[in-house]
Amino acid sequence: MSTEKKVEKSLNCYHCGDVCPDDSVRIDDKLFCCNGCKTVFEILDENNLCNYYKLDATPGTTPSLLYSTKFDYLDDHQTILQIIDFTEGDVTNVTFDIPQMHCSSCIWLLENLYKLNYAITNSQVDFLKKKLTISLNNKKISLKELVELLTSIGYEPQILLDSEDGKPERKTRKKLYYRVGVAGFCFINIMMLSFPEYLGIDLSDAFLKRFFLFLNLGLSLIPP
């Protein structure tokens, strides 16, 4: 007697590929794990960008829908100046870190952003560095609106502002490297100048003895 095996069909999200808890969130035969993924599909579908799903299977990432006030800090002019590359007249260039970028579909979509908003005149991806450079008409779209657009399709930029004292964090790191370098230089030279002591060499010349002693002392007092 033959036995029938029941095969359970997994419910995978059409957008991100995650397993859906049920089949309640759907459009026709397309299932979605949440309303966020469904919303992204609707945005892409309305703008004829569904080729996104043909380049890679389930290429999307689940977007954050809770950002109504999250990007209000981008209304501040001084904050904007820290983020953008340059602005001249109506044209602004900005480069974002996009950590969610992971496949050819991501590249294709991010380089077709102008189809989502025609105020975006150009967008170019550096996939290896996961960076996105965008040129935009700042009279038609603000930096805040641009970041909200990217977030709505699952590519929220990673924005790192300068430290509170106005100095970029990379300058702080460079200063730390400089201090370590100075300390290492002084340590090595103190060791070298102390070789006569370690090797038991007799420095009969009192002047030389005092000279090396004060030189070592001076090196040890150099502030890093």
Domain check: are 57 and 156 in the same one? yes
101 within 8 A of 127, measured Cβ to Cβ: yes
Q: What is the pLDDT of residues 70-104, one digit of tens each?
A: 899 999 999 999 999 999 999 999 999 999 999 99
Q: Which domain holds residue 195?
A: 169-221
In this predicted model, what pLDDT tens digit does every residue of 133-150 receive, in sequence order? 999 999 999 999 999 999
> In this structure, which amino acid lies at residue 153?
I
- Could you give the number of structural domains in the chain? 2
Per-residue pLDDT, averaged over 168-188, amounts to 61
Alpha-carbon span 108 to 112, nearest angstrom: 6
Residues 74/144, Cβ–Cβ less than 8 Å: yes
* Residue 119 maps to a domain: yes
- 24 located within any domain: no
**pLDDT, position 5:** 45
The residue written with tokens 């950590």 in the block is 99
E strands, the chain, are 26-27, 30-31, 84-88, 91-97, 120-126, 131-137
Q: Are residue 150 and residue 183 in the same domain, yes or no?
A: no
Claim to verify: residue 130 and residue 85 sit in the same structural domain = yes
